[in-house]
Structure 1
Amino acid sequence: MSVEQPVNTPVLGDALLSVAQDALDDLKAVEPVVLDVRAFSSVMDYLIVASGTSSRHVKSLADNVLMKAKEQGVRPLGVEGERAGEWVLVDFGDVVVHVMQPAARSFYDLERLWSVQAEQPQES
């Protein structure tokens, strides 16, 4: 009995990355950054961090990412923070999108956190 191999997830991840980037660009996300975390994470391929100018803008950016992904037949594994609008996380598995207000982005500094992760060797 042969075992079927799953669909090539990096292609899905790359395609989904493009959809998410376009959705953020459509509504003028502030300073979007894409981090390729495939070498450091077994649970995701890409991390996108972007800012909105207000809670309404943050929510709109996240909603647009969700809508554009849905148009491609992709549903999120989870969405957190929509109610407050300070930091909305949209988890698609291969791609995780963080849309934050500038104060939250500065405080949590995810870009630096992941760059520190990249500099440290992983233990086996």
Structure 2
Amino acid sequence: MTNIKEIAFNALEDLKGKDIVALDVSELSDVMDSLLICTGTSSRQVKSLAENVVDELKKQGVRPIGVEGKEQGEWVLVDYGDLVVHVMLEDLRGFYDLEKLWSITPNTREGADGSDPHRG
């Protein structure tokens, strides 16, 4: 079977999704391995982009675990388990800045209060 991330990426490209970014979050999350983030220029395009991802993967026998936000069309999340696709309007994408959020190493309990655990 072809890589589902590649199929989803191509489905976003096919409908002229903007600023498509693929992130490997396997080191940061136990829940998923990859994120695809894409900008749509209108709520209609956001919905269409997400639907195209679902349709193209369905042709390969892959169905999403869930799809959220399609009614509003401002931010649609398509969950495939190891892969999560976010299709967002530009304002929301800028506001939530998922690329930055998912590039930050999470705090550990040790030192989370700002103290340096390695200093006596």
TM-score per shorter chain, which class?
Answer: 0.7 to 0.9
Q: Provide the C-alpha distance between the structure 2 equivalents of 1:51 and 1:96, rounded to a whole number of angstroms.
A: 15
Q: Which residue of 2 aligns with 1:81?
A: 69
Q: 1:122: how far off?
A: 5.1
SS class of match (1:48): strand
- Which structure dedicates a bigger proportion of its chain to helix? 1
Q: Which residue of 2 aligns with 1:8?
A: none
Q: 1:40: how far off?
A: 1.1
Structure 1 residue runs of 5 or longer lacking an equivalent are: 1-11
2:22 aligns with one of 12, 34, 55: 34
Q: 1:123: how far off?
A: 5.8
SS class of match (2:102): helix
Q: Which residue of 2 aligns with 1:3?
A: none
Q: Which residue of 1 aligns with 2:58?
A: 70
Mapping of 1:87-102 within 5 angstroms? 87-102=75-90
- Paired residue type of 2:45: H
Deviation sequence 1:57-80 (CA, Å, 0-9, x none): 000000000000100000000000
1:105 aligns with one of 65, 89, 93: 93
1:16 aligns with one of 1, 4, 8: 4
Give me the TM-score of the superposition, normalised by structure 1.
0.83
Percent of aligned positions that are identical: 55
